Structures are given as structure tokens and as C-alpha cells.
Amino acid sequence: MTAPDASDLHAFIAADPADVARQEATLPPGPLHGMRVAVKDIIDALPYPTTGGVLGWARQPERDATIVARLRAAGAIITGKTHTNQFAYGIDGENAALGPGRNPHDPRLLTGGSSSGSAAAVAAGLADAALGTDTSGSLRVPAAWCGVWALRPTTGSVPRDGVLPLAPTFDTPGPLAPDLTTLTAVWQVIADEPAALAPRAPGGLRVRVLDEGVRGCTPEVTAAIEGFITALTAAGAQITRDTSSAFLARSQAQHAGVQFPEASRSLRALLGDRLDVLAPDIHERVLAGEEHTAVAYLEALEGVMALRAEVSAVLDDTDLLLLPCAPMGPVPPATPEVDVDGGPRSVREALLSRSVLFSQVGCPVLAWPLLDPAGGPPVAGVQLATARGADRRLLEHALGLVQRGDARLS
């Protein structure tokens, strides 16, 4: 594939070649020396204004976000600000004002979102790595659809200052990269985890597959996921098929009860009465969030905490939980519905169906891309999750699997 340029993909909202040249002339030594890193435009990175992907609104930061400052100190070059759903309040990569995020593998298809431009820039080779954020799947979905790696760190383990808030209970910055080694290096810098990682041999690795997430996917996604599970078994992993849990259904039922009111509060704080700058669907969700009562919010939050405790207990007895990143592969812009889970569902509903569980648990999640062996657009991605705070162990398990050299695991 000949990589499209940034204008074709809508990957970048802003880029300044002169600023890149200035950085190149004064790069400090460090573990990321010379690495080109793109930054989602809800994260402060000088000299750019932070616009949240919104025309008619911007703030000019006084300093870099801490995670951006850490990248610079490690020798990285900040190449520009990337496309996003408005204020990261979306999961598909659509932006009515800026145009949709376009998939480097086929620009007729979406990237997924909301870290749309970050995933596209990495997939097209326009950046060596990128920063995004994940509230409800906004790192994992575009990583899967663009065929790159992403890590949603343990909630709260990576600094969020200088990052526009959406739903603070779930918001988490994280990296995207074309390979696991680069992803790990960027995570070590932004999480201030400099000690070297030791890949773990996969023999005896305990993996629990949540079959409620595998059921109902498109045939292409199901085949890719089952192939990945077969490769894990061949690598020596011990696979358990969980056929009875209903974690996903519960997480979907309660997610909006926390996200909507928190997002409405965040966007009102940023915009005041300027909701006219928002796309109609986001405007509608802001108003809907303001209708939630305090009692309803607290009940939903209690449900999230209960689910977190239950899933954390499961993770005490296994090493990794496995789910698809999404039940279908990338779709064209303005697709109204997709046929998954036994019937037509909106694209937003379908994409959130596999991702919000781990957002609520707050555990580290690795998005592992599964590429089409024929060279077409990626068909799927796998989420591998482990216990809260065990980000390092998750990456060590993944590195051990990749070192096996099995094409299905690389």
C-alpha cells in the first residue's frame, strides 16, 4: 500500500514543520531519541492550541501536558495534533466539521475513534507513535480498525493534567504504535516506568475467553479471534472458555449512567452556553446527560464499582481476559446500522458493546491487531486485559508471545 498523506486521511488537525525542525535541532538524548510522536488534539502540546476537534473553540495552553513533557525529555519529536471526534465524545472517528477519520488501509472506511487521527497517523507511517485517550474504547477501537497496537493503562496510572476531561471516572491517556516494542517504550516514558521489561514465556499462561463477546460478531471477526486463540494454545497458554458470565450486558446497561452526566459537566465547564459548536449527536448527549438525577448517577456508579470488584476477583484466578475489540471490521462513514449480535445495531452501540467493560474495571488493556493476511483492511483486534496496576506484567506476557515468532501472534 502506498500510504496516503495526512490531508487525504484527515490524520492531523495541525502540524508545524518549522517547529519540528526546531525540535530536531535541540533533541536531548533519551530512550525515544528522534521518535516522531503525534498527539491527539485533546492533549496540550505547545505551540499548538488545543481545539478538541471543534471549529470555533480553542484554548491556548501555557505548558505541555505532563505526558507530552515526558516524551520531549526522552528525546521524542512532537509532530502535530491529530483528528478526533469532537471532545473525544465518539467511538467511530466521525467529525462533522473536520470530515471523518479515513482508514489508511482503505480511505473509504472509517478509522474508529475517538483517537482517529492518532491511529491513522501511525498506520500510515506519518508518525512513529502517537498519544490518544480512552474513555469508552477510544484507543482500542481505532487501533483494531487501523491495524496498530494500543494500550489503555490502568486508570489513574498515567498523568491526566493538560488533557481535556470527558468522563473522569473512565478517562485514560495512552499510546498507539506500529509494533509492541515501540508501544512498550512509549508507555514506559509516559508512565515513568524506566526499568527494563522481561518477556514472559507463554507456557502455562492462563487466558479466560469471555465468550459473550465472541458470540454475535461478524464471521470474519469470529474467525480471526478463534485463530488467535488457537495460536495461544499452540504457544502453551491454558485457555478457559467462559460461557456463562454476563459482564458485557451489565456494563452496557450502566455505562451511560456514569459517562453522560460526567461528560455533560465537563463540556459545560469548557463551553458554557456555546453548545452550538457541537455536532447534533453530541449536543443531544450533553442535554441527555443533564437530565440524569444525582440518585441515578450514584446508582450507576455503584453498579460500576460492583462490576469492577467482580471482574477483579476473576482476574485473581487468571492471567488475562480476552475479548474482541469490536464485533465487526471498519465501516464506511455515515453507516447507520450493522448486523451483529443477532440484529441491526447502531455503529456506536455495536462498538461500545465490547469496550466499556474494561473501561469500568479500570484495568490495563492491550489492543492487539489482527491483520488480513491477504493485505486488506484489518478485520479485528483482540483485547487482552489483566489486573489493575499490572500494566508491566501485561506487556511482559505480550512480549513473550510475540517473541514466539508465530505469524498469528506478531
Q: Are strands 365-370 and 380-385 parallel, antiparallel or unpaired?
A: antiparallel
7 is catalytic: no
User: Residue 376 is placed in which grid cell?
Assistant: 486488506
Selecting among 81, 114, 115, 251, the annotated active-site residue is 114
Q: How far apart are CA 193 and CA 158, in angstroms?
A: 10
Selecting among 138, 251, 264, 359, the annotated active-site residue is 138
Task: Give 409's DSSP letter.
Answer: G
Q: Is the dihedral of CA 65, 67, 70, 71 positive or negative?
A: negative
Query: How big is the CA angle at 16 (ends 13 and 20), to the nearest 5 degrees?
Result: 125
346 is catalytic: no
Q: What is the DSSP string of 212-276?
A: HHHTTS-HHHHHHHHHHHHHHHHTT-EEEEE-S--HHHHHHHHHHHHHHHHHHHHHHHHHTT-GG
138 is catalytic: yes
Q: How far apart are CA 10 and CA 99, in angstroms?
A: 7
Residue 242 pairs in a beta bridge with: 210
Q: Are the C-beta atoms of residues 13 and 49 closer than 8 Å to each other?
A: no
Selecting among 40, 115, 116, 157, the annotated active-site residue is 40
Residue 339 pairs in a beta bridge with: 344
Find, among 13, 7, 176, 9, the residue nearest to 103 by Cα. Answer: 9
Q: Are the C-beta atoms of residues 150 and 143 closer than 8 Å to each other?
A: yes
Residue 370 pairs in a beta bridge with: 380
**Looking at the annotation, which residues are catalytic?**
40, 114, 138
